[in-house]
Amino acid sequence: MIQLLHCVFMIKKGVILFIWASLVTAQSFSIARIHYNGGGDWYSDPSSLPNLLNYLNMNTPMSAHPEEFRIKLTDDNANQFPYLYMTGHGNIRFTDDEVIALRSILMNGGFLHADDNYGMDVSFRREIKRVFPNKDLIVIPNEHAIFSSYYHFENGIPKIHEHDNLPPQAFALFEGDRIILLYTFESDLGDGWEDASVHKDPWPVREASLKMGVNIIYFALTQ
C-alpha cells in the first residue's frame, strides 16, 4: 500500500512538472520589477532577481529570461507581465493611474510579490489599501501549499536577515481562492538572492531564500 501511494505521488508530481515545463516552453518566464515613486529605493538588491532566475534555470525544468524587466505600472506593456515584483527600504507612492493599473493587472490574472527590504511596510500597506480598499492582507499559515509547491518549508517563510526581532511572515490578498498578491515581511528574501559578497550570508541561508523564491514562482504559475 505504501509503495502504491508513493507511485501515485510520483506520477502526480511528474504530471505537475510536465505541465509546468509545457507552460514555459513556448515563452520564457520573466519577472518585471516595479519602478514606483515616493522616494523608496525600488531598485535595491540589483543582483537578486538575476540570481533567482539563474537558480530557477539551473534547478528546475523551467526556462526563465536571465534578466529582470523594469516597468512602471502605467507603461503600455505593464499588463503583459503576469509576474510582478517590488521591494525597497523606503516610501512607496502610487499615482491614481498606477492604482487603477495595478488593480486591473492583478484582477486579470497577474501576480505581485512584494518583499519588504526593511522599511517599506507602512507605505506598502497604505498604498495597497488604495488599490484594494475592500481586501485585507491575510497571514498565510505554514501549512499553505506555497510552502511545499516545489521545495518543502515546514516552518513557513525562512528568516534571512534580523531587524526588529520579529518572526518572518507571509501575507496574501485573495481573489476567491487565488492569491493575487504575496507580501513577505521580516524575511528579506531579496537579500538572500543577492551575490554572496554583498551580505556575506552563508550558502544554507542563501539557498533557503532561493528555494523559497522558486516556490513562490511555481505556486503563482500553477495555483
How would residue 162 be classed by pLDDT, with cut points 50, 70 and 90? confident
All three cell numbers of 207, joined, read 539557498
pLDDT at 27: 58
Give tens-digit pLDDT for 64-107.
999 999 999 999 999 999 999 999 999 999 999 999 999 999 99
Q: Can you give the pLDDT at residue 164?
A: 87
Look up residue 158 and give its three cell numbers.
Answer: 525562512
What local confidence, expressed as pLDDT, does residue 6 receive? Answer: 38
Inform me whether the pLDDT recorded for 129 exceeds 50.
yes
- Give, rounded to a whole angstrom, the gap between the first and last alpha carbons of the chain: 29
Domains and CATH numbers, the chain: 28-222 (3.40.50.12140)
pTM, two decimal places: 0.89
Sheet with 178-185: strands ordered across = 69-71, 32-34, 83-88, 111-116, 178-185, 169-175, 138-139
SS3 annotation, the chain: CHHHHHHHHHHHHHHHHHHHHHHHHCCCECCEEECCECCCCCCCCCCHHHHHHHHHHHHCCCCECCCCEEECCCCCCHHHCCEEEEEECCCCECCHHHHHHHHHHHHCCCEEEEEECCCCHHHHHHHHHHHCCCCCCEECCCCCHHHCCCCCCCCCCCCCCCCCCCCCEEEEEEECCEEEEEEEECCCHHHHHCCHHHHCCCHHHHHHHHHHHHHHHHHHHHC
- What is the per-residue pLDDT across 17-58, written as a single tens digit (0 to 9) for each? 444 444 444 458 999 999 999 999 999 999 999 999 999 999
